[in-house]
Amino acid sequence: MTRGRVVTPLTEGNSTMRINRLLFWLLFLSSGTRFLAGQSAPSIPPRPPKAAVPQAAQQNIASGLKTSASSLSFGNEPLSSTSAPQFITLTNGRKSDLTLTDVVSSEPDFKLVHNCALSPDLMPAGSSCGISIRFAPGAVGLRSGKIRIAISGDPPMQPLIIPLQGNGVDSPVTLSQTYLVFRTVLVGMTSMPQFVRLTNRSLAPAKITSIAASADFALATTTAQCVPGNTLGPLASCTVAIVWTPGDSGSRGGQVTIADSDPASPHIIDLQASATGIKLSSGTLRWNPTAVGITGNSQTFEVRNEGRTTIKVESVEASGDFFQQNSCGKELIQHQSCSVTVWFQPTAAGERDGTLLIHDSDVTGMQQIFLTGVGSPLDLFPVKMDFGNQAAESTSAPQIVTITNRGGANVNIAAINVSGDFVVPGKTCSDTVAAGKSCRVSISFSPTVSGVRTGALSIETDAKGAPQKVTLNGKGR
């Protein structure tokens, strides 16, 4: 027996994708641990049906409420399992707000989750919401139900009815899950496997004829693996492991089909997965303590389109005490890269956090890079010193580091330390650097042996963002 489903595909677009993502998380939260193996929301509607029954592509009632499907058919489903979800989008096609007072399923065989606002909240003109429906037959045979959508109005409006249909099958061979959602992965990468258990609950053996997976999905080797040609003994189980290796960015639906000697064969596992084409060379950028009001060193990361589909770049934005420039333009074609350079300019002392957001047409919709730095009231100049070559056991002429308090309060200096083959022959800094004032520290290089020698000058204070350092380099000869 074959399993037929009917779903009218929803219109592709950002609003529909957002509705489907919201529905997935609602479905996740309402279904307990059943979906713990999948953590990314499906962002496309269910795939086209395998067996169609007559239905309108869109239902439009007098209230102005439009639906993406006028009926749903779930085909065959074993008594002990729950089908993959099907989705319906509701759209307020009127020029005025609409009030929904109820969205319910008439029968427990059809489990419903929605993100539609109910009275007293309004459904704004032109807005959309979604309904997710799953079929869990309570008895063998044809099961019917309906979705009832009640609409408030004056004069009163008739409720919108969407018929539902499915067929309960008494099958001794069952699946532990009939629907898997895969975490979003980068194009070309392989996901972690997800596992489904096939169990023969009868006292008669069941022979596995074939196991097939849709394109971009594959079967992985696992313990107690189901093998075509093998017989599953009475009350025995085997495991199917499934992985997802996307060849391009976007969302995909698929199936694993298990054919066996059970009368309800084939047994089908519905699959949903998403692949991102965007690869970032770094997910976090960090800055060392930087003086308030001073622009720190720049850092650059790369954005690359690993997929075959062109990705449109809508905007690149930095927040907090950070600003950016980029070479990304309006789009990234196949295997094209661009660079984003970020600067840190703290407005206050202490930890300063921000984000860099790239809004694009990738299935993820947005890339996020975390930015973090430390603001300090003290400005050290220069931040690097190179003393060049110096004879071992001798001391170079001093170089000067200027310390300026750019904050609005005095800064108490706890210690001025130098490490490596470097010394401090003199300083003008006292225990306190007043707001807006400067002091100086002299540093000399005194190599003990030949070769490259490194060290640092560090200033420890009671201010946020300390200690700060000056990098020291020299070469003994």
Shared domain for 102 and 238, answered yes or no, is no
- Give the Cα separation of 182 and 185 in Å (integer): 8
Q: 412: Cβ–Cβ under 8 A, 6 or more apart, which residues?
A: 431, 432, 461, 462, 463
Confidence at residue 59, expressed as pLDDT on a 0 to 100 scale: 56
Question: What is the per-residue pLDDT across 123-155, written as a single tens digit (0 to 9) for each?
Answer: 888 899 999 999 999 999 999 999 999 888 767
Confidence at residue 336, expressed as pLDDT on a 0 to 100 scale: 96
Give the confidence band of 466 by pLDDT, cuts at 50, 70, 90. Answer: low
Question: What is the per-residue pLDDT across 201-213, written as a single tens digit (0 to 9) for each?
Answer: 989 999 999 999 9
Tell me: pLDDT of 301 over 50.
yes
Shared domain for 182 and 166, answered yes or no, is no
Question: What is the per-residue pLDDT across 353-399, written as a single tens digit (0 to 9) for each?
Answer: 999 999 999 999 999 999 999 998 888 899 899 999 999 989 999 99
- Give the Cα separation of 386 and 423 in Å (integer): 14
**Token pair listed for 439:** 């002091």
Shared domain for 359 and 441, answered yes or no, is no
Shared domain for 428 and 439, answered yes or no, is yes
Please state, in angstroms and as integers, the Cα–Cα distance from residue 154 to each residue in 103, 151, 158, 461, following that order.
19, 10, 11, 72
Confidence at residue 60, expressed as pLDDT on a 0 to 100 scale: 53
Mean pLDDT for the chain overall = 85
Shared domain for 212 and 131, answered yes or no, is no
Confidence at residue 467, expressed as pLDDT on a 0 to 100 scale: 67
> Can you tell me whether residue 28 is helix, strand or coil?
helix
Question: What is the per-residue pLDDT across 36-82, written as a single tens digit (0 to 9) for each?
Answer: 333 333 333 333 334 333 344 455 555 688 899 999 999 888 887 88
Identity of residue 379? D
Shared domain for 75 and 191, answered yes or no, is no
- Give the Cα separation of 185 and 249 in Å (integer): 9
Confidence at residue 469, expressed as pLDDT on a 0 to 100 scale: 86
Shared domain for 3 and 98, answered yes or no, is yes
- Of 227, 258, 276, which marks where a domain is finished? 276
Task: Judge whether 6 and 53 are in contact, CB under 8 Å.
Answer: yes
Shared domain for 302 and 447, answered yes or no, is no
Shared domain for 79 and 156, answered yes or no, is yes
Domain assignment of residue 362, given as a range: 278-376
Max CA distance (Å), the chain: 100
- Of 239, 261, 276, which marks where a domain is finished? 276
Task: Judge whether 457 and 440 are in contact, CB under 8 Å.
Answer: no
β-strand partners of 100: 151
The Cα angle at residue 346 between residues 342 and 350, in degrees rounded to 5: 125
Confidence at residue 44, expressed as pLDDT on a 0 to 100 scale: 31
- Give the Cα separation of 221 and 341 in Å (integer): 44
- Of 342, 376, 410, which marks where a domain is finished? 376
The CATH number covering residue 404 comes to: 2.60.40.10
The number of folded domains in the chain is 4
Q: What are phi and psi of 128, to 5 degrees?
A: -135, 155
Question: What is the per-residue pLDDT across 426-436, written as a single tens digit (0 to 9) for each?
Answer: 999 988 999 88
Shared domain for 420 and 468, answered yes or no, is yes
Percent composition of the chain: helix, strand, coil (DSSP 3-state, to 5):
5, 50, 45
- Give the Cα separation of 36 and 181 in Å (integer): 9
Give the confidence band of 288 by pLDDT, cuts at 50, 70, 90. Answer: confident
- Give the Cα separation of 348 and 100 in Å (integer): 49
Shared domain for 119 and 185, answered yes or no, is no
Q: To 10 degrees, the CA torsion angle through 419, 421, 426, 430?
A: 0
- Give the Cα separation of 26 and 400 in Å (integer): 63
Confidence at residue 62, expressed as pLDDT on a 0 to 100 scale: 54
Give the confidence band of 28 by pLDDT, cuts at 50, 70, 90. Answer: very low
> Can you tell me whether residue 121 is helix, strand or coil?
coil
Tell me: pLDDT of 185 over 90.
yes
The Cα angle at residue 377 between residues 371 and 378, in degrees rounded to 5: 105
Shared domain for 289 and 264, answered yes or no, is no
Q: What's the rounded mean pLDDT across residues 96-120? A: 88
